[in-house]
Amino acid sequence: GLRVVTTPVPTAQSVCVNVFVGVGSRAEQPRTNGISHYLEHLMFKGTERRPTAIAIAEAIEGAGGILNAFTTQEMTCYWNQVPFDKLSLAMDVLADMMRHSLIDQEELNRERSVVQQEIRRAYDQPAAWAGHLLSEACFGDEPLGWPVAGTIETVEAMQRDDFAGHIGTWYVPQNMVQSEAGNTTQEEELAAARTLFDGLEGAAPPGVAETRNGIPARNVVVEARDVSQSNIAFALRAVSRTDPDRYALMLMNAVLGRGMSSRLFREVRERRGLAYSIGSSVTRYNDTGVLGISAGVSPEHVAETTTVVKAELRKLVDELVGAEELTKARDYTIGSFRLGLETSMALAQRAGEQLLMLGAIEPIEDVVARLEAVTADDVQRVARRIIRSDNVSMSLVGPGADGEQLRELLAA
């Protein structure tokens, strides 16, 4: 049934309540790409007891709280944060949305345009669109290569029956987690959850197809735009949520492109002045992952920047990271990990995501201990595992985009 996890923070003045559902864009079909995100919007549009979006918003905002949601490739999360003495209200509103949303036809039609405007907004932001194209370059026509929000065309085609089927398939207790953090107790949360979600039933959801190994043949995707800057992004298939190498990859990523003292920032910005900002990041999915690098540069600097990125990646393969640099990367990674858990919202969302995706929550100090145990040899081994010429994808949005030229540059 529904799983419940609580992270007590007795000194907090608030409590953050989240409901996670284990469905995102990678579980969709081509015709309904974007339905998880579209439904996330519709769940705020009214229930039997709170028949309008305003009624739902006023319930939480009237207590001084905030409410929102997000959708990713693998999950949808609805959350609100309220003063701790309004916990019962927060839980009631979320349970009401999960169980009694109207999915009114008029609201569905109105929100269709809103979602399409959100897609257009992303298209009009070259850096964001380069990120979308990078997923396409890295995963091709697989669901992980599709946009989370769908396309103008798929959103236009969705009907009320599609949403009813989506809810019936995925919004079932075995596929949901309720996670709270703040000034509350596990006993309080369990009692409320039993009452609010009593009688919620449904069959176990279907599995999601695993991602195929290997990047697609069309591993460079470009889009010409009449803008002054070229937004470039690189991706290497990396490790999954549970891969033992994830800790070494975290340190490798810190060395490569996290922060102003990272190798990419120093070489691309400080030494060569090619970009205002450049950085790297790691995204992990259930069965794969991505090491991503992104930057915005003048069109005439695309080739040089690409060459520098390739050289910095090759250096991680060929040379051990020095002891001092590894210590700095470790301290940075552990410190930013701890700082990222400073709020009740961060604690609730970490616990909820891990329980939903992994079935367990990794203790914070276990993560720290595993990061402490990573050696320079581990970092180089992981670099050699993922930094390969047959494992690099690239996207570019900007003037004079030439996919063949970039493909040759990557292969050189």
For each of the domains in the chain, give its residue range(s) and CATH number, in order of start: 3-196 (3.30.830.10), 220-411 (3.30.830.10)
CB 350 within 8 A of CB 362: no
Q: What are the helix (H) ranges across 171-235?
A: 186-196
Structure tokens at 20: 């996670």
Structure tokens at 163: 């949403």
* Beta strand pairing call for 220-224 and 392-398: parallel
Q: For 44, what's the count of Cα atoms within 13 Å in the CB-facing half-sphere?
A: 20
> Taking every pair of C-alpha atoms in the chain, what is the biggest distance, in angstroms?
63
Closest residue by Cα to residue 257 from 273, 246, 271, 268: 268
Inter-CA distances, 87 with 20, 59, 69, 78, 189, Å: 17, 12, 18, 15, 9
Within 53-95, strands assigned E span 66-71, 76-83
- DSSP type of residue 62: T
Q: What is the pLDDT of residue 218?
A: 80
For the stretch 214-271, pLDDT in tens is 888 789 999 999 999 999 999 999 999 999 999 999 999 999 999 999 999 999 999 9
Structure tokens at 61: 């905002």
For the stretch 288-337, pLDDT in tens is 999 999 999 999 999 999 999 999 999 999 999 999 999 999 999 999 99
AA identity, residue 237: R
* Beta strand pairing call for 14-21 and 176-182: antiparallel
CB 255 within 8 A of CB 382: no
Identify the active-site residue in 28, 40, 74, 267: 40
In the predicted model, residues of the chain with pLDDT beneath 70 are: none
Q: What is the pLDDT of residue 139?
A: 96
Dihedral sign of CA atoms 298, 299, 301, 304 in order: positive
| 40 catalytically annotated | yes
Edge-to-edge strand list for the sheet holding 3-8: 3-8, 176-182, 14-21, 76-83, 66-71
Inter-CA distances, 78 with 235, 363, 405, Å: 29, 24, 44
CA–centroid distance for 179 within its chain: 18
For 403, the enclosing helix (H) or strand (E) is: helix 403-411
- DSSP type of residue 103: -
CB 46 within 8 A of CB 101: yes
Residues with Cβ < 8 Å from 58, sequence gap 6 or more? none
